[in-house]
Structure 1
C-alpha cells in the first residue's frame, strides 16, 4: 500500500476495517474505521463521498487500483486532501482481507499491551495500598500512574491527603453535586457514578467511594494535563476499588476495637481491673490512673478522644476534662475504678442537664451545687410527690393542710414560728399537723419523714420550687 501525497492527519486511531462499495456506507459505520473500496460505484465528483466519510469520523480511505480504476482518480486525491482524509493506494495484489487481518492483529497486540500495562499498574497500586501509609501511599502511586495529580477527600469534602500539585478548586463543585445525588432517592436505586471534567490542559475525574451500603463515604479525585487513556481509566477504577476495600476494612477494624472496649468496660464495672487492662493492651490502649473523670456524650462527640484515652460507646474515662468537645457533655466528679458505676450515673445526669440547658460540658459538681433537687430525675420526683401527697390533695381543705405542712417544715418544726408565718394560732397548726399525720400515716417527728415531705412539696404543686423555676 502507498500513502498518497497531500494525505490528511495520520494520528487517527484505526478501530476496524470496513469494506464497502456503497456510495454512502456511513449508515453502517461507527467511526474510526479504515474504509476499503474499489470505487466501482463512485462518480467523477468525489467530494460528497469524502465529505460523508469525514463527517462520520472514519480513520482513512483505502482505494484499490488495477480493477475498476487503474489509478486513484485525481479528483478523489484532491477531495481527500481538501477534507484532511488520509488516502491509501491499495495495489491489486494486496487483498482487502489481508489488510483486515493485519489491522486485527495490530489491534489485538495493542489491546494486549494495554492489558499488560494496566495489570502491572494495578499490581503497583495494590503494593502501595499495603504499605504502612495505606490510602495515602495509594493516592501518591495513582498520581504517578496517570502522570498527573490525585487527592483523597472525606465524606464532607475535607482533604485527607493530596499530592502537591492537586487542583482541588475544580473538585469542590463536583463534590456538592455528588453529595446531593447521594441524598436523593432510595440507596438501592442510585448508582455511585464518577464525574469527568475536561478543559484545555486539564482533565479531571472525581469518583465517590462507597461501601457495601452504597452510601458515599468519601471521594477521590485525579487530574492530568492530557486526556486519560483506556489504561488510565482502568487504573483509576482499580484505585477506586482498592480505596473502597481499605475503607471497609478500616470500618470493620474500628467496629471490632469498639467491641473489645465494650467488653473492657463490662470488666471494669465487674471490678476486674487487671483483666480489663490485659484485654485492652493488644489495642495499644491504656486505662487512666486513679482518680479519673467519667464523660458521657453522644458517640460522635467522643470520637476525637478515641486515640488518646479509653472510650466505649458514649462513655470516656479521662484524667482531665478536655477544654472543648463538639456537643453536650456530662462529667462526673473524680472517681476510683471501684466507683465507676456511680461515676457513669453522675456523668449521665450531668449530660441530661447539659442537653436541657444547651450547654457544652456540665459537671456533676455543678449540679450538686444547685442543691439536692437538681440531682433528682424530674419525672421520678414528680411521681413520688404525687403519690406521697395524694391523701392531702384528696382531702377537702387540702390547701390549708399543704400550706400548713410547708410552713411547719420551713420552720423546722417550731410551732410558734410556723403559726406566725401562717397567721394562725399554734393550737390550730397543731390540729392541722395531727390531721396531716393521720392522713399520711407518717410520724412528722421522724427526720426522714420530714425530708421526704420536703422533697415532695418542692417537686410538685403550684407552690413547689421546681414549678417556680419551670
Structure 2
C-alpha cells in the first residue's frame, strides 16, 4: 500500500498559501485523495482519508455542526474552506464545530484554486508510488544477489524477512522448518494441513499460493519447485501485504525455485561424476578416478581406506555423508573413508539405513573392499544393530550369512517328506544324529540309544523319501543347514 502524503506536507507547500485554523494535532493524517464538493452531505461519495474542499455554498450557522460530524464519521482527513467566493471568512460556527471535533480546518485563499491543491496531492502520491516501485526493484535486486550466494535459499529467506520487516521461513516438502529469519514465526506448525492443500491441489494443476489473516498477523505461503513441489516458504507480517510486498514475495518465490532446482541439477551432475569416478576406482583405474574427483575439488583420503555400503534412503545417506566421498550405486550408497574414521562414519550413517563395513584396503583394492562391505551389508540387514563389519562375519558362523526367511523356506521344503512320513519325528532326529557323528553308524546309534541296524534302516528310508544320496558330501551339507534352521 502506497504511503500517502500527510496533511502537514500539503499545507506546508508555500505556493498554496494554506492556513490551519483547527486540528493542528491531527496534521499527520494521510491525505489519500482530494474531493471537491458543495453538497450538504458529501459522505456518500467519500471513502475516508480525503481532504474535502468546499466554498460553503450550502453551509450556514444551523448546519455547520452536523456537516462536520458527518465528515468526521466518514473518516476524512481534513476540510479545506475556500474564502472570497460564498464567504469572505470561514463561518465562526464551522470553526467552532471543527475545533470541537478535532477536525483540521484549512483556510484556502481566493487566489489558490482547488485544482492546484488536487495537483499537489496527486503529484505527492505519484512520487510515493514511484519511490515504492523503485524500492521494490531495489529489493528484488538485493534478493537476486542473495540467491547467487553459496547459501542461496537461506540468504533469500534472510533478505525477505529483513526487507519486509516481518518473518520468513523455508520449509521442506514435509513441512519441516529448514531455515527461519525474523521474529514472530509462531504459527508454522498450524500450517501443515494447509501445506497438504498446496502439495495436492484439488483437481490437479499447478499449486497456488495461500494467504491467511488474523487480527494480528498476515501470512502468505507459496510452494517451491518447477515440475513438482520441493518445499515451501512462508512470510508473515503484522499488517496487510501491500501490492509491492506481493511483488517482492513473488520474486522471492521465483528465486527460491531457481536456486533449489539449479542446486538439485548441480547436485545430480556432481553425483553422476562421483559415480563415474567410483566405477573407475573399482575397475583399478586409480589415477583416472582420482583425477576425476579432483575436478570436483576433492579426492580420496590418504592412507588405508575402508569402504562402507549403506542401504536405506539414498538421498538421506548422501546428505548424512557430508564431506566424505560417497556415491549412489545400484540399491545402496558406497562411502569411502580413511580407516581411522570408519567407525565414526558408520555411527553417523546407521540412522539412515543398515551399514556394512569392509576391512582396510589400499586405493587399488577398493573392489575387494566393496565386496567385503556388500557381504557385511547383507548380514547387517538381518540384525538389529544395523551395522556389521566384514571382519566379524567369520565369528558369526556360516548360518549368519544366510537370509533367515529364505533359509527357513528351504529347510521346510527339503525336510517336509520326513515330517509328513507317518508323523514320526524319529527320522529327523536319526538324520540329525547321523550327520552330527559324520556318518559313523555306531556312534550315531549309541547317541540315539538304538541298534545300528535300526539306524541303517531309518537312513535308507530318509534317502528314499528325500531323493538324496547320504554318502554325497554336498547332500549332507544341505541337510545339515536345513536341520540347523529348525533348531
Deviation at residue 141 of structure 1 after TM alignment? 5.7
2: distance between equivalents of 1:438 and 1:219?
A: 75
Which among 432, 437, 448 is matched to residue 458 of structure 2?
Answer: 432
Give 1:428 shift: 0.9
Aligned equivalents of 1:221 and 1:274: distance in 2?
53
2:295 corresponds in structure 1 to 282
Matched, 1:174 2:187: yes
* Contact 1:404 1:433 survives alignment (8 Å): yes
Greater shift after overlay, 235-244 or 108-117? Answer: 235-244
Task: Report the RMSD for the aligned CA atoms in angstroms.
Answer: 3.8
Match of 2:379 in 1: 350
Once the two structures are TM-superposed, the CA of residue 274 in structure 1 deviates from its matched residue by 4.4
Deviation readout 1:400-430 (Å, 9 max, x if unpaired)? 3222111111222121221122221111111
User: Residue 8 of structure 2 aligns with which residue?
Assistant: none
Identify the residue that residue 293 of structure 1 maps to in structure 2. 307
User: Aligned to 1:311, which of 322, 327, 335?
Assistant: 327
2:407 alignment counterpart: 381
The whole-number CA distance in structure 1 between the counterparts of 2:255 and 2:199 is: 25
Q: What is the CA deviation profile of residues 44-90 of structure 1, one whole-angstrom value per residue up to 9, with x for unaligned ones?
A: 33333323333333222222334443332222222223333222233
Task: Call closer, same or farther: CA 1:55–1:248 in 2, change over 3 Å.
Answer: farther
What aligned pairs does 1:22-421 form with structure 2 within 5 A after superposition?
A: 22-42=39-59, 44-132=62-150, 134=152, 155=172, 160=179, 168=183, 170-171=184-185, 173-183=186-196, 187-188=200-201, 191-193=208-210, 210-212=224-226, 213-214=228-229, 216-217=231-232, 238-239=251-252, 241-268=254-281, 273-287=286-300, 291-298=305-312, 299=314, 300-312=316-328, 314-317=332-335, 318-319=337-338, 320-322=342-344, 324-325=347-348, 326-334=351-359, 336-339=365-368, 342-354=371-383, 357=384, 359=385, 361-396=387-422, 399-421=425-447
CA pair 222-28 structure 1, distance change in 2 beyond 3 A: closer
Work out which of the residue numbers 25, 28, 42 in structure 2 matches 1:11.
Answer: 28
Q: Please tell me whether the aligned partners of residues 14 and 59 of structure 1 are also in contact (alpha carbons under 8 angstroms).
A: yes
5+ long unaligned stretches in structure 2:
1-15
Residues 174 and 195, structure 1, Cα contact 8 Å, conserved in 2: no
Of the structure 1 ranges 416-425 and 243-252, higher mean CA displacement relative to structure 2 is found in 243-252
> Which of 179-188 and 204-213 deviates more?
204-213
Provide the C-alpha distance between the structure 1 equivalents of 2:97 and 2:249, rounded to a whole number of angstroms.
Answer: 42
Contact 1:187–1:215 (Cα < 8 Å) also in 2: no
With the length of structure 2 as denominator, give the TM-score of the two structures: 0.76
- Residue by residue over 1:16-49, the C-alpha shift from the partner in whole angstroms, topping out at 9 and shown as x without a partner, is 2223333333333222222223333445333333
User: CA separation in 2, counterparts of 1:47 and 1:343?
Assistant: 97
| CA distance in structure 1 between the aligned counterparts of 2:110 and 2:431, rounded to whole angstroms | 124
- Indicate if the aligned counterparts of 1:26 and 1:53 stay in contact, CA closer than 8 A: yes
**Cα separation, partners in 2 of 1:235 and 1:390, compared to 1, 3 Å:** closer
Offset at residue 315 of structure 1 (A): 1.3
In the alignment of these two chains, the number of paired residues is: 446
- How far residue 119 of structure 1 moved from its aligned partner, in angstroms, is 2.0
Distance 2:295 2:73 in 1: 68
Provide the C-alpha distance between the structure 2 equivalents of 1:197 and 1:174, rounded to a whole number of angstroms: 11
**1:455 lines up with 2:481 in the alignment:** yes
Once residues 413 and 124 of structure 1 are traced to their aligned partners in structure 2, the CA distance between those partners, rounded to angstroms, is 85
Q: Take 2:30 and 2:434, find their aligned partners in 1: how far apart are those partners?
A: 103
CA contact (8 A) 2:358 2:373 kept: no
SS in 2 for 1:5: strand
Change (3 A) 1:86 1:133: same
Q: Distance in 2 between matches of 1:421 and 1:229?
A: 92
* 1:131 Cα deviation from its structure 2 partner: 4.2
Residue 154 to residue 316, structure 1, CA distance change in 2 (3 Å): farther
Deviations 1:121-144 (A, max 9, x none): 332333344345645665666677
